[in-house]
Amino acid sequence: MGEVLTRMAGDRSTRDDLIAVLGRAPDLLKPVAFAFDHRLAEWGACARGVYWRNEDGQKLRFEVLARVLEGDAGPFTVNDLGCGYGAFFDFLEPRLGDRLARFAGTDIAPAMIAEARARIADPRAVFVRGLAAGEDADYSFASGTFNMCLEAKPAEWIDYVETSLAHLYGRSRRALAFNMLTGSDKVRQGLYYANPERFIAFCQGIGARVQFATDYPLDEWTIFARR
């Protein structure tokens, strides 16, 4: 974590502030983890079980994120921050085959991690409870990870999101891909609707080459932050 924060910030006090943001994250995310555990118990391991409307939208979301892998013959490794019950691994494995060397899923919700471990026996996949990726990977993903803020104060949530993204980019040897809500449809309380210009500039500020995608019929956008 220190490496990426050093690149992101120019002075020690700023780096310390950023590290402090991740230190406060467990308290900030506790209500979110509880909500996802409750949702999984209600709906099970399906799109609705992680607050998506349906499987078709979930699949389309994954297809857009996976564009970042196009042209890479592999093998390569993947981080999935906010992995839930392991749906992104389910999507990638049959499409990538031996190109996928390792998949490391991380989630704050204990029931989600337990479900992913119970469902997926593939030795390439590991699922760990945590709020940040614990290892480096060629590609990192965050799909819907920052959408639910519940009662978090806007400034605190933005600090957390940007610090988390900086850390995840620092763990990514080739690229980071993530999506966020736009709020062009009905706005719902407790969700975070992000300004894409802010996050394009943010990713450029930590040294990434940025590609931006909105060419799909979901109320969100996707950023590819490449080395």
pLDDT digits (tens, 9 = 90+) for 132-168: 999 999 999 999 999 999 989 999 999 999 999 999 9
The CATH superfamily assigned to 2-226 is Vaccinia Virus protein VP39 (3.40.50.150)
Distance between first and last Cα of the chain: 17
pLDDT of residue 109: 96
Residue 2 has pLDDT above 60, yes or no: no
Q: What is the pLDDT of residues 113-132, one digit of tens each?
A: 999 999 999 999 999 999 99
pLDDT of residue 19: 62
Residue 13 has pLDDT above 90, yes or no: no
Residue 8 has pLDDT above 50, yes or no: no
Residue 7 has pLDDT above 50, yes or no: no
**What is the mean predicted confidence (pLDDT) over 6-13?**
45
Give the helix ranges, DSSP H, for 44-86: 55-65
All structural domains of the chain with their residue ranges:
2-226
Q: What is the pLDDT of residues 161-180, one digit of tens each?
A: 999 999 999 999 999 999 99
Q: How confident is the model at residue 187 (pLDDT cuts 50, 70, 90)?
A: confident
pLDDT of residue 183: 76
pLDDT of residue 53: 86
Q: What is the pLDDT of residues 35-84, one digit of tens each?
A: 999 999 999 999 999 989 899 999 999 999 999 999 999 999 999 999 99
Please give the Cα distance from 79 to 69 (Å, whole number).
13
Phi, psi of 224 (to 5 degrees): -110, 115
Q: How confident is the model at residue 188 (pLDDT cuts 50, 70, 90)?
A: confident
Residue 105's beta-bridge partner residues?
80, 127
Contact 113, 103 (CB under 8 A): no
What's the whole-model pTM score?
0.90
Long-range contacts for 202-211 (Cβ within 8 Å, ≥24 apart)? 202/162, 202/165, 203/165, 203/169, 203/176, 205/8, 206/4, 206/7, 206/8, 206/166, 206/169, 207/7, 208/169, 208/176
Please give the Cα distance from 113 to 85 (Å, whole number).
6
Share of the chain above pLDDT 70, in %: 89
What is the DSSP pairing of strand 209-213 with strand 220-226?
A: antiparallel
Q: How confident is the model at residue 17 (pLDDT cuts 50, 70, 90)?
A: low
Residue 4 has pLDDT above 60, yes or no: no
pLDDT of residue 215: 96
Residue 3 has pLDDT above 60, yes or no: no
Q: Give the mean pLDDT of the chain.
A: 91
